[in-house]
Amino acid sequence: MVQEEVLDIEREEEDYPLNEYQLTTTPNDFNILTIVSFIESKVFKIPSFQRHYVWDLKRASKLIESLLIGLPIPQMFLYESGRNEFLVIDGQQRLMTIYYFQKGRFPRKEKRAELREIFDLHGYIPDDVMADDTLFQKFNLKLDGIVEGSENRFNGKNYQTLDEFKTTLDLATIRNMVVKPVSGDDESGAMFEIFNRLNSGGINLGPQEIRMSLYHSEFLRALLEMNKDERWRTLLGKENPDIRLNDVEAILRVFAMASFLENYKATVNGFINKFANHAKSFTEEDIIYFKALWDEFLSACSELEPSDFRINSNRFSIMIFESIFFASVKDAIEGRHTGARALSKTYIDTLKADEDFQKYTYGKTTLKDNVVGRLNRAKDILIG
């Protein structure tokens, strides 16, 4: 079994300013029948970075009971990503509980990761899968009585046996807050930060985990393969891929710096997001090129060791790494070839000791002048 590791990368501290965007938030009250219909017709979409269904039968039953007796339940947040298309930001567990109960099926705990893959593939659970008893059990409510020893009137009931309360449930409403940026704003950047701030699913998602879904592309999939290269794992000093995808983000970031730098404005996160969104238009030829360039760059690092990418700590320095990458491959990218310049330990030591380079790595390191300054200085030193 592969051991899960979290990569400790020394990176800049920055806030991603949401006030760059003008947002509108609109409340909508959808009833249960509408919600189930929206799931089946793929109007509601659950991003793939969201964790799979984790509620147990007792907790799920309490949600259904609350709807049956008219208790308010927490509102859900949706992102309007297109006409009749909403991404679920916060509320996936509630949404899927309602969906499963209406279908009369409850997912078996040991099968939930598998079911999540099926849901991601289809956007819903096909009927033949829902009927599979190896994947699901009957969704009969599991509820305690209000007074100890008493029977809860809904205990053991399922959707089909609710009798007159079936209509009560069908027409029960849940408040949904629909968030979207005003037309003309950078929608991809706004979407990223909205998910980053509003998702409260019990786990703090890393930026790259969110990007893998919001900016899904063949290029991002290719990065996952590049991340497995043994030479790269050696330079990182980590045998196994990072469970939070910080290592994948590092590769995405250096490609952005080397090929998209003219679009840098003020924040690294915003810049990487724009590049990830841009990468959705990459052709197969583009992806093959970047994979070949990555291979050549790692070959150019054959003399280097993990310590070469660290400064005054045992943490991997993303600023050192991106500067070295830029110096090695910038001319290759401009000429659309894969001739990465070789890198030596002497060069790395010279770069780290260079006063001009150092001044770009202190203070507000995400300012455009500092970012461009350290990249160009690294290249100038390498060229000589």
Average pLDDT for residues 248-257, to the nearest whole number? 98
Listed in sequence order, the residues at least 6 apart from 219 whose beta carbon sits closer than 8 Å to its beta carbon are 279, 280, 282, 286, 287, 290
Q: Could you tell me if 38 and 82 lie in one domain? A: yes
Do residues 227 and 246 touch, judged by C-beta distance below 8 A?
Answer: no
- 102 and 153, same structural domain? yes
* Assigned domain for 54 exists: yes
* Residue 297 structural domain: 204-383
* Predicted confidence (pLDDT) per residue in 101-139, tens digit: 999 999 999 999 899 889 988 989 999 999 999 999 999
What mean pLDDT is predicted for residues 216-222? Answer: 92
Q: Is residue 337 part of a domain?
A: yes
- What percent of the chain has a predicted confidence (pLDDT) above 70? 90
- The answer to whether residues 130 and 92 belong to one domain is yes
Would you place residue 3 in the very low, low, confident or very high pLDDT band (cuts 50, 70, 90)? very low
- The amino acid present at 83, given as its one-letter code, is R
Give the residue from 146, 181, 216 where a domain finishes: 181
Whether 59 and 167 share a structural domain: yes
As a whole number, mean pLDDT of residues 352-380 equals 95
Q: Does residue 210 lie within any of the structural domains?
A: yes
**What's the angle, vertex CA 228, arms to CA 317 and CA 315, rounded to 5?**
20
User: Cα dihedral angle (237, 238, 241, 247), rounded to 10 degrees?
Assistant: -30
| pTM score over 0.85 | no
196 within a domain of the structure (yes/no) = no
Residue 17 lies in a domain: no
Residues 177-203: pLDDT tens digits? 998 877 655 666 777 777 777 765 555
3-state SS assignment for residue 82: strand
Distance between CA 316 and CA 77 in Å, rounded? 36
Is the pLDDT confidence value at 280 over 70?
Answer: yes
Q: Do 301 and 347 belong to one domain? A: yes
Q: Residue 83: count other Cβ atoms within 10 Å of its Cβ.
A: 6
Torsion of CA 131, 134, 139, 143, to 10 degrees: 180
195 inside domain: no
Does residue 165 sit in the same domain as residue 240?
no
pLDDT above 80 for 220: yes
Q: How many CB atoms lie within 10 A of CB 124?
A: 19
What is the rounded average pLDDT of the residues 327-337? 97
CA 255 to mean position of chain CA atoms: 19
Residue 234 in this model has a pLDDT that exceeds 90: yes
Helices and strands (H, E) in the chain, number of each type: 17, 9
Instruction: Yes or no: say if 123 and 42 are a contact pair by the CB < 8 Å rule.
Output: yes
Q: 3-state DSSP call for residue 291?
A: helix
**How many domains in the chain?**
2
- The share of the chain scoring above pLDDT 90, in percent, equals 68
The answer to whether position 135 is within a domain reads: yes
Query: pLDDT tens digit string along 129-162?
Result: 999 999 999 999 999 877 666 789 999 999 999 9
Based on the fold, state whether residues 163 and 42 are members of the same structural domain.
yes
The answer to whether residues 27 and 166 belong to one domain is yes
pLDDT of residue 7: 61
